[in-house]
């Protein structure tokens, strides 16, 4: 009697422990996501300042220097600013990107005249102040000095400071100026690297698994190979980076910083994960199906390609996607092969220098400008969304390919 | 009875799994167009024996054997014999129904497609239909040929597996306890089928049911601990066994 009671109590206790463990994990995950999203969400908006542009003769954009002209238009708005220093203060509220935007505006109005208010990209310091990330303390706010604040106040009085959608974040490449920095280059770099990693590691991994599981004789050698593949899965990723550096860069002389090399290195790193997943998927295919095929006179290889592989595919793909997801988030090996460079161009192919999303996050997290903080979180959000999509794909593929018998 | 034609002759067959010997000097003759049943307690080597006939034991790394198995005078283990083409001459039906996770049609068509046995879609359709008819399944499934074979009942699945084996037009059909996972009604159907099939094929059936062996087979071989104790006409074995072990097993004293 006593025994049953204590057994039931033990069971209840165990359930409570389990529940506590799960809720702790969920709460921690919730805090993490909340922190990232609440910090990062503001990076998707960007401060713009309205400028009255008045050009009365028909525009020939090739004859106008946008930088000088924009400054002229600004000075027209504030005729009271006369000294060089005051004028410089006025210009400093705008990002260098404002000049490019003005140039685009001129090109769009070729042969016409312009008269009206147009919005131009503000500098990151203005942006931080507008978003309330830095507060006014005395007569300065963060890196905004009293002179800048005075002019900014005038803009605000006229309701000329607005938050617009940040088109640079998703459509631009990295930049020294936070307000112009984007992750498109990093996304392309990640895409090419992961594509290469998949192309190399998936066939290699699956073939290795088939060979070890179905074709190799079980002996000492196959035991050693098996143990070492399991060991490889536990090797720190930076070691794979060193391997990539030694083989692909130093020996094969492939270009530094290229997603090709990053992809090959990540592929090497993913290989053991795929081999292990594929082997267990192949093992779980019912032998009765294979026996039936062999009994009908199909050869070993025919049996593997007609039955074993298709039946193991959901498991293989799930394992592969998990491996690839791991590779997407990997930074260390990419540092070793130089994908940590500051790249302002969007890579056109796997041979162009590029960086990758996690490396971009690492670079931004390391930058001193306050505005990079929210961008770091925004980039993490994008990375998390990618991983989430990949996991959804894994679940979907599994459900779709799974056959019942 | 017509003159018996020797189909398979097994001479002095020893089989080892690693260090362990599974079969000891087996000698057995299997005659064409007859049903030969193998009976004996579990683990006595019945399944091992029939798997030697179509060399399914090759798939087991640690399996070694010596001795001779002749089918129509050809040595099964001769280096010039290709196990894959050998298996097309020998159909096999397993203990647990194991249809492929494909449609009924594709299940039956797998073998013929694999060996390029038909030249046109029409030929293949016809072969699939006749195979299903031979297995006595066609009328039950003719409306759902393209549905998964795994949706059938256990007995139907087993007949599907028989149809699948028949489609490659084998000479010999090996059945490894084909009814052990089936209910008595499904079993009766399979037994009826075996009765019909022996007109055209040579059948070897492993069974745990003495009644089944008595009902379906012309000849019976009794095995014990990897040795063939006694073989002969089923009537003789069941009514007047020579060996005391056979008698004990048949009467239920051991096994």
ipTM: 0.86
More confident residue, A244 or B181: A244
Our CA-based measurement puts residue B244 at a distance from the nearest CA of chain A, in whole angstroms, of: 36
Query: Is the pLDDT score of A69 beyond 80?
Result: yes
Q: Averaged over A38-66, what is the pLDDT? A: 89
User: What is the DSSP code string of A18-74?
Assistant: HHHHHHHHHHHHHHHHHHHHHHHGGGGEEEEEEEEEEE-SPP-TTTS-HHHHHHHHH
For CA atoms A9, A27, A362, A259, give the dihedral sign. Answer: positive
pLDDT the model gives residue B116: 87
Residues of A in contact with B94 (CB under 8 A): 288, 291-292, 295
pLDDT of A405 > 50? The answer is no
Residue of B nearest to A301 (CA): B84
> What Rg do the C-alpha atoms of chain A give, in angstroms?
29
Q: pLDDT > 70: what percent of chain B? A: 98
- Given CA atoms B19, B24, B29, B33 in this order, what sign does their dihedral have? negative
Q: What is the model's pLDDT at position B164?
A: 93
Q: How many residues does chain A have?
A: 405
Q: Does B88 touch chain A (CB under 8 A)?
A: yes
Looking at the complex, report in whole angstroms how far the Cα of residue A207 sits from the nearest Cα belonging to chain B. Answer: 19
Distance in Å, alpha carbon of A306 to nearest chain B alpha carbon? 10
State whether A296 and B91 contact (CB < 8 Å). Answer: yes
Determine the residue of chain B that is closest to A402 in CA distance.
Answer: B101
Give contacts of A293 with chain B, Cβ < 8 Å. Answer: 100, 110
Beta strands A161-165; A140-141: pairing state = unpaired
- Among B94, B96, B114, whose Cβ lies nearest the Cβ of A297? B114
Q: How confident is the model at residue B1 (pLDDT cuts 50, 70, 90)?
A: very low
Q: What is the pLDDT of residues A237-246, one digit of tens each?
A: 999 999 999 9
* pLDDT one-digit tens code per residue, A169-211: 888 888 888 899 999 999 999 999 999 999 999 999 999 999 9
A interface with B, Cβ–Cβ < 8 A, is 217-218, 286, 288-289, 291-299, 302, 306-307, 311, 403-405
Chain-chain contact of A294 with B59 (C-beta, under 8 angstroms):
yes
For the segment A209-230, what is each residue's pLDDT rounded down to a tens digit?
999 998 888 888 888 988 999 8
Per-residue confidence (pLDDT) for residue A403, from 0 to 100: 63
Please name the residue of chain A whose CA is at the shortest distance from the CA of residue B161: A292
Question: What's the confidence (pLDDT) of residue A100?
Answer: 92
At residue B107 the predicted structure's pLDDT band, cuts being 50, 70 and 90, is: very high
Give the count of alpha carbons within 13 A of A112, CB side only.
9
**Contact between chains at B98 and A289 (C-beta distance less than 8 A):** yes
CB contacts of A306 in chain B (<8 Å) are: 110
Q: Does B100 sit within 8 Å of A403, measured CB to CB?
A: no
Is B100–A293 a contact, with Cβ atoms under 8 angstroms apart? Answer: yes
For an interface test with B, give the residue of A284, A289, A292, A403 to mutate (most B CBs within 10 A). A292
pLDDT surpassing 80 at residue A309: yes
Rounded to whole angstroms, the Cα distance separating A179 from B150 reads 60
Mean pLDDT of A390-403: 83
**B31 has a chain A CB within 8 A of its CB:** no
Chain A interface includes B87 (CB < 8 A): yes
Q: For residue B94, give the nearest of A288, A297, A404 by CB distance.
A: A288
User: How many CB atoms neighbour CB A320 within 10 A?
Assistant: 24
Answer whether B94 touches A (CB < 8 Å).
yes
Question: Measured between CB atoms, which of A217, A294, A405 is closest to B101?
Answer: A405
DSSP chain B: -----EEEEEEEEEEEETTEEEEEEEEEEEETT-EEEEE-STTSSHHHHHHHHTTGGGGSTTEEEEEEEEETTEETTSTTS-HHHHHHHEEEE-SS----SSBHHHHHHHHHHHTT--SSHHHHHHHHHHHHHHTT-HHHHGGGTTSBGGGS-HHHHHHHHHHHHHHT--SEEEEESTTTTS-HHHHHHHHHHHHHHTTTSEEEEE-S-HHHHHHH-SEEEEEETTEEEEEEEHHHHHHS-SSHHHHHHHTTS--
Which domains are present in chain A? 44-165 (no CATH), 184-401 (1.10.3720.10)
Selecting from B61, B88, B94 the residue whose C-beta is nearest the C-beta of A292 gives B94
A278 Cβ contact partners less than 8 Å away, ≥ 6 residues apart: A205, A206, A208, A209, A210, A312, A315, A316, A319, A320
- Residue A360 pLDDT greater than 70, yes or no: yes
pLDDT in tens, B32-85: 999 999 998 888 889 899 999 988 888 887 888 888 999 988 888 888 888 888
The residue among B92, B147, B158, B164 with the most chain A CBs within 10 A of its CB, best to mutate, is B92
Q: What's the mean pLDDT when you consider all of chain B?
A: 88
Q: Report the alpha-carbon distance of residue A322 to residue A91 in Å, rounded.
A: 49
Record: contact B84-A299, CB cut-off 8 A = yes
Element containing residue A208 per DSSP (H, E): helix A184-210
Is B96 in Cβ contact with A288 (below 8 Å)?
yes
Q: What is the pLDDT of residue A37?
A: 93
* For residues B178-203, average pLDDT: 88
pLDDT for residue B254: 64
What's the mean pLDDT in A320-324? Answer: 91
Separation between Cα atoms, residue B129 and residue B131, nearest integer Å: 5
CB-CB neighbors (< 8 A) of A403 in chain B? 101, 148
């Amino acid at each position: 009697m006593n025994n049953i009671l204590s057994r039931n109590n033990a069971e209840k206790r165990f359930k409570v422990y389990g529940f506590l463990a799960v809720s702790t994990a969920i709460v921690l995950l919730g805090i993490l996501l909340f922190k990232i999203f609440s910090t990062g969400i503001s990076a998707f908006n960007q401060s713009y300042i309205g400028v009255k542009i008045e050009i009365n003769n028909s525009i020939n954009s090739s004859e106008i220097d946008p930088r000088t002209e924009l400054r002229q238009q600004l000075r027209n708005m504030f005729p009271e600013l006369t000294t060089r220093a005051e004028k410089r203060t006025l210009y400093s509220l705008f990002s260098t990107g404002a000049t490019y935007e003005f140039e685009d505006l001129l090109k769009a109005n070729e042969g016409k005249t312009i008269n009206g208010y147009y919005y131009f990209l503000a500098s990151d310091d203005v942006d931080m102040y507008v978003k309330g990330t830095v507060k006014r303390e005395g007569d300065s706010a963060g890196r905004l000095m009293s002179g800048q604040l005075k002019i900014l106040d005038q803009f605000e009085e006229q309701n000329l400071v607005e938050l617009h959608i940040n088109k640079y974040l998703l459509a631009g490449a990295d930049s020294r100026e936070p307000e112009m920095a984007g992750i498109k280059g990093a996304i392309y770099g990640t895409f090419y690297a992961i594509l290469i990693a998949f192309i190399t590691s998936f066939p290699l991994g699956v073939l290795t698994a088939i060979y070890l599981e179905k074709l190799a004789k079980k002996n000492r050698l196959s035991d050693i190979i098996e143990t070492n593949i399991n060991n490889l899965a536990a090797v720190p990723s930076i070691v794979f980076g060193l391997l990539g550096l030694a083989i692909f860069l130093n020996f094969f002389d492939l270009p530094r910083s290229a997603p090709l090399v990053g992809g090959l290195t990540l592929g090497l790193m993913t290989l053991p994960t795929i081999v292990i997943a594929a082997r267990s998927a192949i093992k779980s295919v019912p032998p009765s199906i294979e026996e039936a095929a062999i009994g009908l006179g199909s050869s070993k290889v025919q049996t593997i390609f007609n039955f074993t592989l298709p039946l193991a595919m959901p498991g293989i793909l799930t394992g592969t996607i998990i491996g690839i997801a791991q590779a997407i988030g990997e930074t260390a090996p990419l540092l070793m092969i130089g994908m940590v460079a500051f790249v302002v161009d969007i890579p056109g192919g796997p041979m162009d220098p590029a960086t990758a999303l996690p490396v971009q996050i690492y670079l931004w997290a390391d930058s001193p400008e306050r505005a990079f903080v929210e961008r770091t979180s925004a980039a993490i959000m994008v990375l998390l969304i990618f991983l989430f999509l990949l996991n959804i794909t894994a679940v979907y593929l599994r459900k779709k390919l799974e056959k019942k018998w | 009875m017509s003159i018996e034609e020797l189909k398979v002759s097994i001479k002095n067959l020893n089989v080892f799994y690693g260090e362990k010997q599974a079969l000891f000097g087996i000698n057995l003759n299997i005659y064409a167009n007859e049903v030969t049943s193998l009976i004996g307690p579990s683990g006595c080597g019945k399944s091992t024996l029939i798997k030697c006939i179509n060399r399914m034991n090759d798939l087991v790394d640690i399996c070694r054997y010596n001795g001779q198995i002749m089918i129509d005078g050809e040595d099964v283990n001769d280096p010039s014999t290709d196990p894959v083409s050998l298996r097309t001459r020998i159909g096999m039906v397993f203990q647990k129904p194991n249809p492929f996770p494909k449609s009924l049609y594709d299940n039956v068509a797998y073998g013929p497609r694999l060996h390029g046995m038909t030249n046109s879609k029409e030929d293949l359709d016809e072969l699939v239909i006749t195979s299903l008819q031979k297995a006595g399944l066609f009328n039950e499934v003719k409306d759902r040929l393209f549905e998964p074979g795994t949706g059938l009942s256990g007995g139907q699945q087993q007949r599907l597996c028989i149809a699948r084996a028949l489609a490659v037009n084998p000479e010999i059909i090996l059945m490894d306890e084909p009814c052990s996972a089936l209910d008595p009604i499904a079993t009766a159907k399979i037994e009826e089928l075996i009765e019909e099939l022996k007109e055209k094929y040579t059948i070897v059936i492993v069974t745990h049911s003495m009644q089944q062996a008595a009902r379906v087979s012309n000849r019976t071989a009794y095995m014990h601990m990897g040795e063939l104790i006694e073989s002969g006409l089923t009537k003789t074995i069941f009514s007047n066994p020579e060996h005391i072990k056979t008698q004990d097993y048949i009467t239920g004293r051991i096994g």
